[in-house]
Chains A and B, each alone.
Chain A
Amino acid sequence: DAGVTQSPTHLIKTRGQQVTLRCSPKSGHDTVSWYQQALGQGPQFIFQYYEEEERQRGNFPDRFSGHQFPNYSSELNVNALLLGDSALYLCASSRDRDENYGYTFGSGTRLTVV
Protein backbone atom coordinates (compact mmCIF):
# COMPACT_ATOMS: atom_id res chain seq x y z
CA ASP A 1 0.00 0.00 0.00
CA ALA A 2 1.69 3.16 -1.20
CA GLY A 3 1.93 5.96 1.30
CA VAL A 4 2.07 9.64 0.44
CA THR A 5 4.37 10.42 -2.46
CA GLN A 6 5.81 13.84 -3.20
CA SER A 7 7.75 15.15 -6.15
CA PRO A 8 10.30 16.42 -6.77
CA THR A 9 12.48 15.61 -3.75
CA HIS A 10 14.77 18.58 -4.23
CA LEU A 11 14.42 21.81 -6.15
CA ILE A 12 16.55 24.91 -6.63
CA LYS A 13 14.88 28.07 -7.91
CA THR A 14 15.86 31.66 -8.40
CA ARG A 15 14.19 34.49 -6.51
CA GLY A 16 11.12 35.73 -8.39
CA GLN A 17 10.46 32.44 -10.15
CA GLN A 18 7.44 30.21 -9.71
CA VAL A 19 7.39 26.60 -8.48
CA THR A 20 4.92 23.71 -8.45
CA LEU A 21 5.15 20.84 -5.98
CA ARG A 22 3.10 17.65 -6.29
CA CYS A 23 1.56 15.19 -3.87
CA SER A 24 -0.30 11.90 -4.20
CA PRO A 25 -2.19 10.91 -1.05
CA LYS A 26 -2.25 7.54 0.61
CA SER A 27 -4.79 5.12 -0.79
CA GLY A 28 -8.17 5.65 0.87
CA HIS A 29 -7.41 9.21 1.92
CA ASP A 30 -9.38 12.11 0.47
CA THR A 31 -7.96 15.16 2.24
CA VAL A 32 -4.60 16.75 1.52
CA SER A 33 -2.83 19.32 3.68
CA TRP A 34 0.39 21.19 2.96
CA TYR A 35 2.95 22.29 5.54
CA GLN A 36 6.09 24.40 5.41
CA GLN A 37 8.96 23.49 7.70
CA ALA A 38 11.84 25.90 8.15
CA LEU A 39 15.10 24.59 9.51
CA GLY A 40 14.87 23.80 13.22
CA GLN A 41 11.14 24.56 13.39
CA GLY A 42 7.97 22.54 13.54
CA PRO A 43 5.86 22.35 10.37
CA GLN A 44 3.50 25.26 9.77
CA PHE A 45 0.08 24.73 8.18
CA ILE A 46 -0.33 26.29 4.71
CA PHE A 47 -3.73 25.01 3.56
CA GLN A 48 -5.97 21.99 3.28
CA TYR A 49 -7.91 20.63 0.30
CA TYR A 50 -11.01 18.48 0.31
CA GLU A 51 -13.38 17.75 -2.58
CA GLU A 52 -11.17 19.88 -4.84
CA GLU A 53 -11.75 22.97 -2.72
CA GLU A 54 -9.50 24.84 -0.33
CA ARG A 55 -11.20 24.18 2.98
CA GLN A 56 -8.99 26.21 5.27
CA ARG A 57 -5.82 28.22 5.12
CA GLY A 58 -3.02 29.15 7.46
CA ASN A 59 -1.23 32.47 7.71
CA PHE A 60 0.44 32.41 4.30
CA PRO A 61 0.24 35.07 1.55
CA ASP A 62 -1.70 34.67 -1.68
CA ARG A 63 1.56 33.79 -3.45
CA PHE A 64 0.86 30.32 -2.10
CA SER A 65 -1.93 28.58 -3.94
CA GLY A 66 -2.99 25.03 -4.52
CA HIS A 67 -5.21 22.63 -6.32
CA GLN A 68 -6.74 19.24 -5.75
CA PHE A 69 -7.65 16.93 -8.60
CA PRO A 70 -10.52 14.43 -8.83
CA ASN A 71 -8.13 11.59 -7.93
CA TYR A 72 -7.33 13.47 -4.67
CA SER A 73 -3.77 14.34 -5.71
CA SER A 74 -2.72 17.90 -5.08
CA GLU A 75 -0.34 20.64 -6.18
CA LEU A 76 1.20 23.50 -4.27
CA ASN A 77 2.18 26.55 -6.28
CA VAL A 78 4.34 29.38 -5.04
CA ASN A 79 4.73 32.54 -7.15
CA ALA A 80 7.33 35.30 -6.93
CA LEU A 81 9.66 33.21 -4.82
CA LEU A 82 11.50 34.86 -1.95
CA LEU A 83 14.66 33.69 -0.23
CA GLY A 84 12.52 33.10 2.87
CA ASP A 85 10.47 30.49 1.00
CA SER A 86 13.41 28.11 1.25
CA ALA A 87 12.14 25.24 3.37
CA LEU A 88 11.01 21.63 3.44
CA TYR A 89 7.46 21.38 2.08
CA LEU A 90 5.47 18.50 3.46
CA CYS A 91 2.26 17.01 2.19
CA ALA A 92 -0.04 15.10 4.53
CA SER A 93 -3.12 13.08 3.69
CA SER A 94 -5.99 12.00 5.89
CA ARG A 95 -9.59 10.82 5.80
CA ASP A 96 -12.10 13.60 6.13
CA ARG A 97 -13.16 14.26 9.72
CA ASP A 98 -11.90 10.86 10.81
CA GLU A 99 -9.82 11.47 13.90
CA ASN A 100 -9.24 7.74 14.33
CA TYR A 101 -6.62 7.51 11.60
CA GLY A 102 -4.50 10.58 11.91
CA TYR A 103 -2.28 12.03 9.23
CA THR A 104 0.25 10.37 6.94
CA PHE A 105 3.12 12.47 5.65
CA GLY A 106 5.24 12.25 2.55
CA SER A 107 9.02 12.57 2.50
CA GLY A 108 8.83 16.22 1.53
CA THR A 109 10.26 18.50 -1.14
CA ARG A 110 13.34 20.51 -0.21
CA LEU A 111 13.04 23.91 -1.92
CA THR A 112 16.05 26.19 -2.06
CA VAL A 113 15.60 29.72 -3.38
CA VAL A 114 18.82 31.48 -4.44
Chain B
Amino acid sequence: KQEVTQIPAALSVPEGENLVLNCSFTDSAIYNLQWFRQDPGKGLTSLLLIQSSQREQTSGRLNASLDKSSGRSTLYIAASQPGDSATYLCAVVSNTDKLIFGTGTRLQVFP
Protein backbone atom coordinates (compact mmCIF):
# COMPACT_ATOMS: atom_id res chain seq x y z
CA LYS B 1 0.00 0.00 0.00
CA GLN B 2 1.39 3.35 -1.06
CA GLU B 3 2.03 5.80 1.78
CA VAL B 4 3.21 9.38 1.41
CA THR B 5 4.95 11.32 4.16
CA GLN B 6 5.84 15.00 4.25
CA ILE B 7 8.44 16.58 6.47
CA PRO B 8 8.37 19.00 8.18
CA ALA B 9 4.71 19.27 9.17
CA ALA B 10 5.11 23.01 9.71
CA LEU B 11 7.73 25.59 8.89
CA SER B 12 8.07 29.27 9.77
CA VAL B 13 10.76 31.31 8.02
CA PRO B 14 11.62 34.98 7.47
CA GLU B 15 11.05 36.51 4.08
CA GLY B 16 13.87 35.96 1.59
CA GLU B 17 14.99 32.55 2.79
CA ASN B 18 15.42 29.62 0.43
CA LEU B 19 13.66 26.53 1.73
CA VAL B 20 13.15 22.85 1.00
CA LEU B 21 10.04 20.78 1.58
CA ASN B 22 10.38 17.02 1.62
CA CYS B 23 8.09 14.25 0.41
CA SER B 24 8.70 10.52 0.61
CA PHE B 25 6.69 7.59 -0.72
CA THR B 26 6.93 3.88 0.00
CA ASP B 27 6.25 2.35 -3.45
CA SER B 28 8.56 3.54 -6.23
CA ALA B 29 6.22 2.29 -8.99
CA ILE B 30 4.61 5.66 -9.68
CA TYR B 31 3.39 7.32 -12.87
CA ASN B 32 3.99 10.85 -11.70
CA LEU B 33 4.19 13.11 -8.67
CA GLN B 34 2.38 16.39 -8.29
CA TRP B 35 2.94 19.26 -5.86
CA PHE B 36 -0.03 21.37 -4.83
CA ARG B 37 -0.58 24.52 -2.85
CA GLN B 38 -3.63 24.97 -0.63
CA ASP B 39 -4.68 28.23 1.00
CA PRO B 40 -6.80 27.94 4.17
CA GLY B 41 -10.26 26.55 3.41
CA LYS B 42 -9.62 26.58 -0.32
CA GLY B 43 -9.08 24.06 -3.08
CA LEU B 44 -5.78 22.79 -4.43
CA THR B 45 -3.68 24.66 -6.95
CA SER B 46 -1.26 22.56 -8.98
CA LEU B 47 2.32 23.84 -8.80
CA LEU B 48 4.44 21.25 -10.56
CA LEU B 49 3.97 17.85 -12.16
CA ILE B 50 6.93 15.51 -12.51
CA GLN B 51 6.51 12.49 -14.74
CA SER B 52 8.14 9.25 -13.66
CA SER B 53 10.79 9.58 -16.39
CA GLN B 54 11.80 13.07 -15.27
CA ARG B 55 14.12 14.12 -12.48
CA GLU B 56 12.99 17.70 -11.97
CA GLN B 57 10.64 20.47 -13.02
CA THR B 58 10.93 24.21 -12.58
CA SER B 59 8.39 27.01 -12.51
CA GLY B 60 9.55 30.48 -11.53
CA ARG B 61 10.97 30.35 -8.01
CA LEU B 62 9.88 26.72 -7.58
CA ASN B 63 11.91 23.65 -8.39
CA ALA B 64 10.80 20.10 -7.71
CA SER B 65 13.01 17.05 -7.94
CA LEU B 66 12.14 13.37 -8.06
CA ASP B 67 14.23 10.35 -7.12
CA LYS B 68 12.04 7.32 -7.74
CA SER B 69 14.59 4.77 -6.62
CA SER B 70 14.80 6.28 -3.15
CA GLY B 71 11.12 7.25 -3.02
CA ARG B 72 11.76 10.95 -2.49
CA SER B 73 10.81 14.32 -3.88
CA THR B 74 11.78 17.80 -2.77
CA LEU B 75 10.17 21.15 -3.46
CA TYR B 76 12.65 24.02 -3.40
CA ILE B 77 11.29 27.55 -2.97
CA ALA B 78 13.76 30.32 -3.68
CA ALA B 79 13.62 33.77 -2.08
CA SER B 80 10.44 33.06 -0.12
CA GLN B 81 7.76 35.75 0.18
CA PRO B 82 4.83 36.25 2.60
CA GLY B 83 2.51 35.36 -0.29
CA ASP B 84 4.04 31.87 -0.31
CA SER B 85 2.38 31.16 3.05
CA ALA B 86 0.10 28.16 2.53
CA THR B 87 0.00 24.40 2.95
CA TYR B 88 2.00 22.44 0.40
CA LEU B 89 0.85 18.95 -0.49
CA CYS B 90 2.59 16.32 -2.53
CA ALA B 91 0.72 13.46 -4.15
CA VAL B 92 1.74 10.45 -6.20
CA VAL B 93 -0.14 8.59 -8.90
CA SER B 94 0.54 4.89 -9.24
CA ASN B 95 -1.01 2.26 -11.49
CA THR B 96 -4.31 2.67 -9.65
CA ASP B 97 -4.65 6.07 -11.36
CA LYS B 98 -5.59 7.92 -8.19
CA LEU B 99 -3.75 10.50 -6.14
CA ILE B 100 -2.30 9.47 -2.81
CA PHE B 101 -1.56 12.52 -0.68
CA GLY B 102 0.74 13.33 2.13
CA THR B 103 -0.56 15.33 5.10
CA GLY B 104 1.17 18.48 3.91
CA THR B 105 3.67 21.05 5.13
CA ARG B 106 2.18 24.24 6.54
CA LEU B 107 4.46 27.12 5.58
CA GLN B 108 4.46 30.58 7.09
CA VAL B 109 6.74 33.27 5.69
CA PHE B 110 6.89 36.36 7.86
CA PRO B 111 8.05 39.83 6.75
Asked if A77 lies at the interface with its beta carbon under 8 angstroms from chain B, I say no
* Interface pair B101/A43, CB less than 8 Å apart: yes
> Which of these binds chain B: A12-20, A67-75, A78-86, A99-107?
A99-107
Q: How many residues of B are in contact with the other chain, CB < 8 A?
A: 26
Chain B interface SS verdict (over half): strand
Q: How many residues of A are in contact with the other chain, CB < 8 A?
A: 29
Which positions 31-82 of chain A face chain B at CB distance < 8 Å?
A: 33, 35, 40-45, 48, 55-56, 58
Asked if A88 lies at the interface with its beta carbon under 8 angstroms from chain B, I say yes
Q: What's the Cα separation between A58 and B101 when bound, in Å? A: 13
* Interface pair A99/B32, CB less than 8 Å apart: yes
Q: How many A-B residue pairs have CB under 8 A?
A: 66
* Interface pair B101/A100, CB less than 8 Å apart: no
Q: Using Cβ atoms and an 8 Å threshold, which residues of chain A touch B89?
A: 42-43
Asked if B103 lies at the interface with its beta carbon under 8 angstroms from chain A, I say yes
Asked if A108 lies at the interface with its beta carbon under 8 angstroms from chain B, I say yes
Q: Using Cβ atoms and an 8 Å threshold, which residues of chain B touch A102?
A: 32, 34, 46, 49, 93
| Given A103-B34, A105-B36, A45-B43 contact (CB < 8 Å) | no
* Interface pair A107/B31, CB less than 8 Å apart: no
| Given A56-B96, A88-B41, A110-B41, A103-B46 contact (CB < 8 Å) | yes
A97 to chain B, nearest CB (A): 7
Q: Using Cβ atoms and an 8 Å threshold, which residues of chain B touch A35?
A: 99
Spell out B's residues near A (CB within 8 Å).
Answer: 4, 31-32, 34, 36, 41-46, 49, 51-52, 89, 91, 93, 96-104
Spell out A's residues near B (CB within 8 Å).
Answer: 4, 6, 33, 35, 40-45, 48, 55-56, 58, 88, 90, 92, 97, 99-108, 110
